A = this chain, B = another copy of it.
Amino acid sequence: MNQHRLKKLTNALTESGLDALVLNPSPSLLYATGLHFHLMERPVIGIFGADGRVGLVLPELETAKLNGLDIDAFPYGENPATWTSVFKKAFDAFDLNGKRIGVEPLAMRILEYRYLQASAPHATFPDATETIASLRMRKDTDEIANMRKAVEIAQNALEATLPKVKIGVSEKEIAAELVMQLIQHGSMSPFPFQPIVSAGPNSANPHATPTERKLQAGDLLVIDYGAMVNDYVSDITRTFAIGEIDDEYRKIHEITQAANAAGRAAGKPGLPAGVVDIAARKVIDDAGYGAYFTHRTGHGLGMEGHEAPYMRADNQRILEEGMAYTVEPGIYLPNRNGVRVEDDMIITKDGAESLTTLPREIRVLG
């Protein structure tokens, strides 16, 4: 366990008026303990007291992971009928009944929540998302180095994939090649998300899943993907032209690229996160395509593909040095084609740096 992080977490709990924090297997549990647990049918929870004590309720077969760590273990056997009493024992040992126990609604399941409620029937379970996000958002040097590496690997993997992109090759085939190149170039697994490879009308769906559809002349091709290094991720999108494309498609790419540039230039310590969205969106609005930019401009990035801060016009959160996020405007013409250009940014002392350095101009392939 990283004692420095644990100390910061303990302080943050006290500042938030929480008596404890309870986490199930999630990036936050990994951040707080350095331990990997599977999210599965056997519940695992970490208990973090505002006094600095740490406990884990976990299956007996996982206890080997705790060797040498200053963690109170509450192991249980294979029969679910016995688990309630083990949770109760742990909650009693931390004296949690009647207390304010922070939880992460984005990660904790009803499975764990019902054990919590049964073990501390008079406790309240306020949302601790902000408390944890306030720690995880500001990346330290090691975290940024991992993200930089995750970007570098992803960029090299995409360049190695492009020679296979040709008319007649399917979205699925390109996605499989990209996955292989990501691993060969040093990405660890799991990836932050499964690559999106969407062409032609599928590119108008921002969250498409690769299909058997084969590339055709005139398609736009959107590739949105990322790598993972030591639990930190990258998330990049580039859009390509397959042969000769419609003039309007070329135009929406130019507009999106300009919006991406405006979004990248807008981030700065001391400004609200919303400025990034406002800057990128203005370019697309002014060009008359505002109705076709149907999502926020970006999201935070780190141990998760989506995390705070979120780049929405109404987000008043103040940007600080070390915060990491994407800038990914897009224009999607329904039932026709779509474009997205996405970079990974870090807030620096006096501005924002793009970790991504791949060319942003539309490249013609096929």
Question: For the complex, what is the distance from the CA of A282 to the CA of B204, rounded to whole Å?
Answer: 58
- Is A365 an interface residue, CB under 8 A from the partner? no
Is the beta-carbon distance between A183 and B179 smaller than 8 angstroms? yes
Kindly supply a per-residue 1/0 record for chain A positions 325-336, scoring 1 wherever the CB is within 8 Å of any chain B CB and 0 otherwise. Answer: 000000000100
- Is A184 an interface residue, CB under 8 A from the partner? yes
Residue of B nearest to A37 (CB): B207
Is the beta-carbon distance between B110 and A108 smaller than 8 angstroms? yes
Report chain B residues within 8 Å CB of A78. 295-296, 312
Report chain B residues within 8 Å CB of A65. 205, 207
Interface hit among A89-97, A99-107, A350-358 = A99-107
Report chain B residues within 8 Å CB of A61. 206-207, 294-295
- Is A166 an interface residue, CB under 8 A from the partner? no
- Is A109 an interface residue, CB under 8 A from the partner? yes
Report chain B residues within 8 Å CB of A251. none
A259 to chain B, nearest CB (A): 16
Question: For the complex, what is the distance from the CA of A64 to the CA of B335, rounded to whole Å?
Answer: 9
- Is A314 an interface residue, CB under 8 A from the partner? yes
- Is A190 an interface residue, CB under 8 A from the partner? yes
For the side of the interface on A, what is the size category? 35 or more
| A272-313 at interface with B (beta carbon < 8 Å) | 294-296, 299, 305-307, 310, 312
A209 touches which one: B36, B105, B179, B334 (CB < 8 A)? B36
- Is A6 an interface residue, CB under 8 A from the partner? no
A114 touches which one: B36, B105, B109, B114 (CB < 8 A)? B105
Report chain B residues within 8 Å CB of A51. none
A135 to chain B, nearest CB (A): 17
Report chain B residues within 8 Å CB of A59. 295
Question: For the complex, what is the distance from the CA of A232 to the CA of B110, rounded to whole Å?
Answer: 25
Is the beta-carbon distance between A314 and B194 smaller than 8 angstroms? no
- Is A4 an interface residue, CB under 8 A from the partner? no
Report chain B residues within 8 Å CB of A159. none
| A184-220 at interface with B (beta carbon < 8 Å) | 184, 188-191, 193-194, 204-209
A78-B295, A106-B111 known; 18 other A-B pairs, CB under 8 Å?
Answer: A36-B209, A38-B207, A40-B306, A41-B106, A41-B306, A61-B206, A64-B205, A65-B207, A103-B110, A105-B110, A108-B110, A179-B183, A180-B180, A180-B183, A180-B184, A183-B183, A189-B194, A190-B191
17 of the cross-chain contacts (CB-CB < 8 Å) are A40-B306, A59-B295, A61-B294, A62-B207, A64-B205, A65-B207, A78-B295, A79-B314, A103-B110, A108-B109, A109-B110, A110-B113, A113-B113, A180-B180, A180-B183, A189-B194, A190-B194
